[in-house]
A and B are shown apart, each in its own frame.
Chain A
Amino acid sequence: MAWVNAIIQGILTGGLYALFACGLSLMFGVMKVVNLAHGDLAVIGGYVAIGIITVTHLPVLWSIVVVVPLMAALGYVLQRTLIQASLDRSVLTTLIVTFGLSVVIENGLLQFFTANSRAIGTGNAIITSSFSLGSQIQIAYLLVVIFATAVIVLLGLQYFLSRSKYGRLIRAVADDKEAAQMCGADYRHVFGIAAAIAFGTVALAGIAYEVLAGYLVFLAVLVVRPEGLTARRARS
């Protein structure tokens, strides 16, 4: 029974990772940008959600409606300025710029929000409750909700890419941006839209991860914090 449990929990958690990864994959597929700051953007999404929730006292679900468009807009702007500028130079420059961005974001968050773990929605019943399958398998509602969200987002993205006008544009630009440009598609704008989608989905993943961390805090396991750079500082 233990391995059935492991498989089920694994698949459900895999949904969250798919949500994290789809933006990264989109940016790599369309713009050939390896966004080394992708994970940090998820953390930013989470912190923006925390900020909005503490100021407006919105429930977690409603904060998504604000955070995702906000992050998408940030994605569009960042793509049209910084990332496009580095793309115009070389592949090496995009790696350096996104890596620099990652370090700046990570340490900025560390500076302003400290290294303490935070979680949202800990008091919510749907977040902390679970149901049982058989006698030994306990499944949290939250994991199911996150998995369902991931499936919906991925299906939506698939439909968007294969059926809509902008989806066609994105595919055209990903195939050959010069040819698409000649046919009248402004590839910079299309890149911006792809980045907006990537930033929006990763923000959603960040919020989902944070709520999940709230669930895990409830289970007395701490997870979310801006990882990494604390150890070195302790010595210097």
Chain B
Amino acid sequence: MSVVTETTARSEEKFRVTRSRRNVAWTGGGALIVVVVLALFPYLVGAGVWTIMVQAFIVLTLASMWNLLAGYAGLVSVGQQAFVGLGAYFVLIIATDGLSPFAGLPLAAIGCGLAAVPLWWLLARLRTGYFAIATWVLATAILLIIERFPSIGGGTGEPMPGLSGFTPTLLTAYTYWIGLAVTVVALAAIYLLLRGRLGLVLTAIRDDETAARSSGARVGLARMLVFVVAAIGCGAAGGVLAISELQVQPTAVFTVQWTAEMAFATIIGGLGTIEGPILGTAVFILLQQTLQSYNAWYLISLGLVAIVVALFARRGLWGLIDEHLHVRLFPVGYWLWDPGSTGRRGVLGFGRRQGGQHS
């Protein structure tokens, strides 16, 4: 209230609203350079690194989608493995029909988006805990249904056809590139969506759903759009998984471990920022590679780190960085410049998150 009064009291020219506190031209250039370097990785480093990177791409895509759901739309899904599995199976089905799995991947992702629409119809009324459990139930139900079809491998799964023409090195390189492509498209899509109208609507919902509704924001449509986009992203990641594994096994693609990984990577990195999942995925892969030889320990430590971060550093690692440096690689909020009072600077929109959201 006092801010508003101050605003009207002083001359309005003093205020300036920009996307970011700093110029973001270098961010775009930097991102482009990173993508080009990553695309050239197969020529620069050994095949062992590619395999780890493919895993990183899968986790990063999943984490970004989960972040979009939980961090921006307040939809905490514990059943995103449904779309990982569906994506993998759609690629398998398309490949069985004779098309290359690589060409089938975009189709599979779109298929997941279409499948998400009727599922959303079932979930639309549910919130928080009910929503979380319902998504989990749906994922399990889809697994049980798919296991009933012997033509796609039943309960044991099928090897991926259409990949025998490649030499192992070439196949790994192609898998790497398609993984990179999926990740870049996913991040770009999320960034553009949040910069646009959807981002504004989601901000409004986060702050006050009733107020947003009464101002004409189409709350249901915005949530559905987020759910469908997340389904497409998770489906694409599932497709990459199926290609990199050379096989589709129902319990492996539908395991709740995918949701654990995407959620923990997001929370550790920072919920509600696009940068968070990237940082979180880096931490995740680091933990996984260090603790790989100790079996279950990497998930145990990941879970513990996520609990600690959720309790004590609620904006995650990126939140800590942002708090001190005000750095935004992907600015989707607005920065309010107020030269009049030096202390009162803040970010509007998704920049600075206050506590107690979605309660």
Contacts and interface: CB of A to CB of B under 8 A. Distances in A.
A96 B299 contact: no
B328 to A, nearest CB: 22
B294 to A, nearest CB: 8
A235 B245 contact: yes
Q: Interface SS of chain A: helix, strand, loop or mixed?
A: helix
Contact of A107 (B264, B296, B358): B296
Given A104-B300, A236-B292, A82 B129 contact: no
Contacts of A160: none
Interface string B245-266: 1000101100111001001100
B127 to A, nearest CB: 9
B78 A99 contact: yes
Interface string A74-89: 0000000010011001
A231 interface: yes
Contact of A100 (B70, B304, B355): B304
Contacts of A111: 295-297, 300
A100 B295 CA distance: 17
By size class, the interface of chain A is 20 to 34
Q: Which of B251, B252, B310, B314 has the most CB of A within 10 A?
A: B310
Contacts of B133: 34, 36
Q: Which of B300, B306, B307 has the most CB of A within 10 A?
A: B307
A86 B76 CA distance: 15
A103 B303 contact: yes
A100 B78 contact: no
Q: Which of A86, A91, A92, A93 has the most CB of B within 10 A?
A: A92
A96 B245 CA distance: 29
A100 B296 contact: no
Q: Interface SS of chain B: helix, strand, loop or mixed?
A: helix
A32 interface: yes
Given A96-B263, A108-B296, A89 B303 contact: no
B304 A97 contact: no
Contact of B303 (A90, A104, A236): A104
A4 to B, nearest CB: 26
A103 B311 contact: no
Contacts of A90: 355-359
Nearest to A34: B129
Contact of B307 (A82, A91, A108, A228): A82
Interface string B301-324: 011101100110010000000000
Contacts of A163: none
A95 B300 contact: no
A91 B263 contact: no
B327 interface: no
Contacts of B257: 103, 228-229, 232
Q: Which of A33, A91, A97, A235 has the most CB of B within 10 A?
A: A91
Given A34-B132, A95-B76, A231 B307 contact: no
B252 A100 contact: no
Nearest to B258: A232
A165 interface: no
Contact of B256 (A85, A92, A96, A228): A228
A176 to B, nearest CB: 16
A231 B76 contact: no
Given A82-B307, A104-B300, A95 B252 contact: no
B299 A229 contact: yes
Nearest to B264: A100
A110 B297 CA distance: 10
B7 interface: no
Nearest to B254: A231
A101 interface: yes
Interface in A97-118: 97, 99-101, 103-104, 107-108, 110-111
B267 interface: yes
Contacts of B70: 92
Contacts of A234: 252
Given A85-B311, A100-B304, A107-B299, A229 B356 contact: no
Contacts of A103: 257, 260, 264, 299-300, 302-303
A218 interface: no
Given A90-B357, A100-B304, A232-B252, A95 B245 contact: no
B18 interface: no
Interface of B: 70, 74, 76, 78, 128-130, 132-133, 245, 249, 251-252, 255-257, 260, 263-264, 267, 271, 292, 295-297, 299-300, 302-304, 306-307, 310-311, 314, 355-359
Q: Pick the 6 closest A-B CB pairs, nearest first.
A: A34-B129, A107-B296, A104-B303, A231-B252, A100-B307, A103-B303
Given A32-B129, A96-B267, A108-B296, 17 more contacts: A34-B132, A82-B311, A89-B310, A89-B355, A91-B359, A96-B76, A99-B78, A99-B260, A100-B307, A101-B303, A103-B299, A107-B297, A228-B257, A231-B252, A232-B257, A235-B245, A236-B292
Interface of A: 28, 32-34, 36, 82, 85-86, 89-93, 95-97, 99-101, 103-104, 107-108, 110-111, 228-229, 231-236
